[in-house]
Amino acid sequence: MVKGLVSIIIPTYNRVHLIGETLDSILSQTYTNWECIVVDDGSTDDTKMTIEQYVQKDARIKLYNRPENYLKGANSCRNYGFEKSSGKYINWFDSDDIMISSFIQKKVEFLENEKLDFVISHSINFNEVGNETPIFDNNNKGKDITAENFIGNVINWITMDAMVTRQSVGELRFNELLKSGQEYNFYSRYLLKKPKGEFIYECLAKRRIHKTSIQQQLLKDEIKRKKELLFNEMLLLKDIKGKVSRKLIKRSLKRLIRLSYETQKKFTFSKVQFIVLKELISFGSLKAICCYLIWGMTNFIFGKGYFFIKLSKFD
């Protein structure tokens, strides 16, 4: 009996020196009923030429260009790849990472045997000299897979760890405005749909850490990284309001206050600062509202007031 088709969806941009190893790891899979949808985001090197060589070698690998009417970026490519895919099961992957040979097989067997909507495996970081390190300190063992736990960082995973059924995804798509942290946003919204899933407590993939990876680029620019986190938190708060506990909303607001201060320490009546104030008013914490307003006035006039920022975080 042939098991369900798996669609591996890979966005890529200027990965000529790395994508071959990724595709080789897919070709080496013990599970063979798969298709690999690679969506190029406008590469300026020979990435497409390299992929085309693999397309000629194996018809299961398919190359597409991101259409011009899609925003540039990996999330647009992920969404377009999903539209072009045919699989019963979906696994988004990155063009510089590596699958263990049993990556697909173990996930499909778990999905089908347990009649699940999704499964989550583990991955590990590796660098150019072969050193391996855990991605998260948390191994997720003994913890329920719920939106509350994921949003609260009680459980963690990265994009390629999850294999989901097409049916459970439905109309949900990656937010194309995000440059990083896409899995946190996407799977927070996915879990709010209450699909049925379980962990596979095995490392089935390796995430490559190198100087051109998004994670490393953001680490070089701390303010840019925090602005990305702030934007992510604003979008997530909009999505989860009214759907999760007041405790989680409070946690999200505390992060908003901290990140808005760390990215813009001067009160300037900016759009972000008004959004934070609006969300505090919506939450209804009089203390937090008053402290944030006092910080704004004190900072605007005297350039001080951090004490009130600390008080406004509900502590």
CATH numeric code, 6-216: 3.90.550.10
Q: Which helix (H) or strand (E) holds 132?
A: strand 132-134
pLDDT band at 307 (very low <50, low <70, confident <90, very high): low
Looking at the DSSP bridge assignments, the partners of residue 62 are 37
Looking at mean pLDDT, say which of 195-209, 211-225, 240-254, 283-297 comes out highest: 195-209
Please tell me the distance from the alpha carbon of residue 218 to that of residue 212, in angstroms, as a whole number: 10
pLDDT band at 78 (very low <50, low <70, confident <90, very high): very high
pTM: 0.86
3-state secondary structure 5-61: CEEEEEEECCCCCCHHHHHHHHHCCCCCCEEEEEEECCCCCCHHHHHHHHHHHCCCE
Answer for the pair 124, 221: CB distance below 8 angstroms, yes or no.
no
With CA atoms as reference, report the closest residue to 202 among 154, 253, 141, 272: 141
Residue 158 to residues 151, 184, 187, 204, Cα–Cα distance (Å): 13, 8, 10, 12
CA–CA gap between residue 71 and residue 65 (Å, rounded): 12
Q: What are the two backbone dihedrals, phi and then psi, of residue 202, each rounded to the nearest 5 degrees?
A: -140, 145
Structure-block tokens of residue 5: 């088709």
What is the length of the chain?
315
60, 36 Cβ separation under 8 angstroms:
yes
Give me the pLDDT at residue 262, please. Answer: 79
How many angstroms separate the Cα of 315 from the Cα of each of 77, 183, 262, 288? 41, 29, 17, 9
Spatial separation of the C-alpha atoms in residues 63 and 10, rounded to whole Å: 10
d(CA 198, CA 116): 8
Domain ranges of the chain: 6-216, 221-312
Tokens at residue 77, please? 């490519």
Closest to 105 in 3D by CA, of 6, 196, 35, 206: 6
- The sign of the dihedral angle between the CA atoms of 53, 55, 59, 60 is positive
Of the chain, the percentage scoring pLDDT greater than 90 comes to 57
**pLDDT at 218 exceeding the cut of 60:** no
Helices (H), the chain: 19-27, 47-57, 74-84, 103-114, 147-151, 166-169, 182-191, 214-220, 222-240, 246-263, 271-283, 286-302, 306-312
Q: How confident is the model at residue 167 (pLDDT cuts 50, 70, 90)?
A: very high
Mean pLDDT of the chain: 88
pLDDT over threshold 90, residue 210: no
Q: 177 to each of 95, 201, 208, how far by Cα in Å?
A: 20, 32, 24
- For the ranges 34-38, 49-53, 264-268, which has the lowest average pLDDT? 264-268
